[in-house]
A and B are shown apart, each in its own frame.
Chain A
């Protein structure tokens, strides 16, 4: 039996939106994951996309009607068993907070009244839960930013944020997987690749529902890691997550 009261919405000709209680939490994300695992091998499902507290499922509307599919989903949720989800890992992401990368650090530091060192310390001491991907290919939605680090987004977004930029916006922190316009404050950069379009089975480096921790590195270490990444020799440091 699923833990929450969920509801359904006929979203488009061939998709259904499943809503969990509207708040951001690891418990809700875990429940959505358990539900997705139970759906996994069904031929009537074309694809699904997770949100923080919702799931949009595209179904094969030529084979199955919306009403039938909804009842089918209700039954799956009713009979949801606690399954042994693989233990989440903490993936260490090296970040260089050097001035040559932290383009918005000065302004950010002033706005939230913390020194650069305090910001780095707070930002790199937490583990962040990877709820889902979105915005850009390989962009992680990470939950768990310290409230002292939260800041409203820039009024005017930057036209070009560099690939690898580690940034803060609203109650979130994240990494730009490619060059892109963006409205967050850039405080560092990671040399690792988060997205590889040629990897058909797993184009993202870090699977969702895991944890991410930022490890500060010097500019020399940054260059070394960048070189390893280039030669495809870079190995992530990861460990089991313990509450």
Chain B
């Protein structure tokens, strides 16, 4: 069993999300940085479908009441197993009674903890990903306990270059309303750095933007990775818990890797967009 001794700043359980329910208004959810959650699962020998803990910004203390292999991947945190620092992207054996303690994020913003064989978590609409009004919990709380499954799943051979998430180039393709923006803004978009302001699992906002506008479109579907342009000229990058419909022009679309890269950015970090063609 795993017991939560300290719930940190923001810890949730995530997997690959709720595919198939957007038609009922249900967001996809799932790991913000799928590169790292997949790496954590794959390194430990789990399937990439196995739920993991997503630990954001700082904090979190996990007690292991039995021996089990674990792997952490993603942001670089101050993290100790008892009194020993441990590294990302390696298999680590937690012994009975060991305490895994997360400090601050030193580089990046989100780290994933995978447990060999998986752990018990509530499955709602085919996913364990926490989401308000879907799962009974929205965050992991002090005192929560999770039974270990010790599943023998078929491991995924997926392992991605773990340093990719620390890039600051966000690859984007043109969104359906890209052509609404003028030439000057289109250049700005590709040349300027944009500074992350507030952000959460629903979306990332930026301090600087493009010119203000009065574009309006009829409510349309959107997906994680869609970047919308608001009337003020500021952009919203929709992330994994983002709404499934939106009424702002969709000017850009991030690819999977870019969503992971942006997920590792925090307030004050700078990114640049690089326009790519999809085909």
Question: B78 to nearest A CB, angstroms?
Answer: 35
Q: Verify A134–B176 contact, CB threshold 8 A.
A: no
> What size tier do the contact residues of chain A reach?
35 or more
CB of B65 within 8 Å of the partner chain: no
> What size tier do the contact residues of chain B reach?
35 or more
CB of A103 within 8 Å of the partner chain: no
CB of B154 within 8 Å of the partner chain: no
Assuming A134-B245, A137-B134, A195-B133, is B219 touching A51 (CB within 8 A)? yes
CB of A118 within 8 Å of the partner chain: no
Chain B 14-48 interface mask (CB, 8 Å, partner A; 1/0): 00000111111111000000000000000000000
Q: Verify B173–A10 contact, CB threshold 8 A.
A: yes
CB of A81 within 8 Å of the partner chain: no
B132 to chain A: closest residue by CB: A178
Q: Verify A17–B218 contact, CB threshold 8 A.
A: no
CB of B199 within 8 Å of the partner chain: no
How distant is the Cα of A135 from the Cα of B222 in the complex, in angstroms? 10
Of A23, A65, A200, the most chain B CB neighbours within 10 A belong to A200
Question: B180 to nearest A CB, angstroms?
Answer: 13
CB of B142 within 8 Å of the partner chain: no
Q: Verify B243–A135 contact, CB threshold 8 A.
A: yes
CB of B59 within 8 Å of the partner chain: no
Question: B17 to nearest A CB, angstroms?
Answer: 11
CB of B251 within 8 Å of the partner chain: no
CB of B255 within 8 Å of the partner chain: yes
Instruction: Tell me which residues across on chain A come within 8 A of B126, comparing CB atoms.
Output: 200
How distant is the Cα of A195 from the Cα of B219 in the complex, in angstroms? 21
Instruction: Tell me which residues across on chain A come within 8 A of B27, comparing CB atoms.
Output: 137
Kindly specify which of A41-49, A88-96, A212-220 makes contact with the partner chain. A41-49
Can you show 30 pairs from A to B with CB atoms below 8 A apart? A11-B175, A11-B223, A13-B255, A13-B256, A13-B278, A17-B221, A46-B19, A49-B22, A49-B23, A49-B223, A54-B220, A58-B223, A66-B279, A132-B23, A132-B245, A133-B24, A133-B25, A134-B25, A134-B243, A134-B245, A135-B25, A135-B244, A137-B26, A137-B27, A178-B132, A195-B24, A197-B124, A197-B125, A197-B134, A203-B24
Listed in ascending order, the chain A residues whose CB lies under 8 Å from chain B are 9-13, 15, 17, 19, 22-24, 46-56, 58, 65-67, 132-139, 141, 177-178, 195, 197-198, 200, 203-204, 208
Listed in ascending order, the chain B residues whose CB lies under 8 Å from chain A are 19-27, 124-126, 132-135, 173, 175-176, 217-223, 225, 243-245, 253, 255-256, 278-279
